């Protein structure tokens, strides 16, 4: 954090900037200085980590709350300094700190129809009809991740996403059906299958909608995953 502080510009008139500086000062992290571990307040590292994990779990759970995400987060992330609330900044730091403003892209999660977290012990299907397709003026993608690590799931096909830039086959009516499965069902195009390594661990599916039609976004809902 000393390195970060030494390479960051803090606004003396920005309330959140000044609160951050005040929080780190007792820990010996002050812009423009060299960190000296002998001159800092002692902290209970175990308790610090426990609280951080609780905050992370709470915010990751909120990411799966579609109403909360759509109303408070979807179009409020990745704005210039002073244009985001502390609530959005905290959520963004946990869910993914790097991105672009909603005018360039939105990142809606796909949640399950039964409200339960997705788990690799199960297979899932995600269906969209033509009218439900993501409102992208450029392109969109649907990507599968390991919840705990935030990484792709290794697989022989090296298939990690479905979408206009990752391969897909539309249904006859212009919609799309995507399977997340340990084994792709017969008669389902491989392009529409995201390989799942069977095991008792969480998985997430994130949509990326580039150059979104923000007027359509207000009326659009991301699809839900059905457990098979």
CATH number, domain containing residue 213: 2.60.120.600
**Eight-class DSSP state of 86:** H
Task: For residues 49-55, give the mean pLDDT.
Answer: 94
CA distance 148 to 202: 7
Q: Which domain holds residue 169?
A: 101-227
Q: How many domains does the chain have?
A: 1
Question: Taking 80 as the threshold, does the pLDDT of residue 66 lie above it?
Answer: no
58-62, 94-98, 166-170 — which one is most confidently predicted on average?
A: 166-170
> From residue 130, how far is each of 90, 134, 170, 207, 215 by CA, in Å?
35, 9, 9, 16, 18
The reply to whether 95 falls in a domain is no
Is residue 8 in some structural domain? no
Q: Output the pTM of the full model.
A: 0.79
In a domain, 86, yes or no: no
Decide if 49 is inside a domain. Answer: no
Is there a domain that residue 17 lies in?
no
Does residue 138 sit within a domain?
A: yes
Determine the Cα–Cα distance for residues 205 and 200; give it in Å rounded to an integer.
16
Residue 92 belongs to some domain of the structure: no
Euclidean distance between CA atoms 16 and 26, whole angstroms: 17
Radius of gyration of the chain (CA): 21
The pLDDT, as a whole number, for residue 9 is 94
217 part of a folded domain: yes
């Amino acid at each position: 954090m000393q390195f970060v502080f030494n390479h960051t510009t803090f606004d003396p008139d920005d309330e959140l900037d000044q609160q951050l500086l005040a929080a780190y000062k007792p820990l010996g992290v002050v812009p423009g200085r060299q960190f000296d571990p002998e001159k800092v307040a002692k902290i209970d590292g175990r308790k610090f980590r426990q609280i951080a994990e609780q905050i992370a779990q709470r915010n990751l759970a909120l990411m799966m709350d579609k109403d909360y995400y759509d109303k408070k987060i979807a179009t409020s992330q990745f704005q210039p300094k002073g244009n985001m609330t502390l609530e959005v900044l905290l959520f963004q730091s946990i869910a993914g700190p790097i991105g672009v403003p909603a005018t360039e892209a939105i990142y809606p999660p796909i949640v399950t129809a039964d409200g339960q977290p997705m788990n690799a012990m199960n297979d899932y299907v995600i269906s969209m009809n033509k009218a439900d397709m993501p409102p992208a003026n450029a392109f969109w993608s649907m990507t599968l991740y390991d919840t705990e690590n935030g990484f792709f799931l290794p697989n022989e096909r090296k298939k990690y996403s479905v979408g206009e830039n990752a391969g897909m086959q539309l249904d006859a009516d212009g919609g799309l059906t995507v399977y997340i499965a340990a084994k792709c069902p017969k008669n389902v195009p491989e392009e529409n299958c995201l390989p799942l390594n069977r095991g008792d661990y969480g998985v997430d599916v994130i949509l990326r909608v580039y150059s979104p039609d923000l007027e359509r976004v207000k009326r659009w809902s991301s699809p839900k995953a059905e457990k098979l």
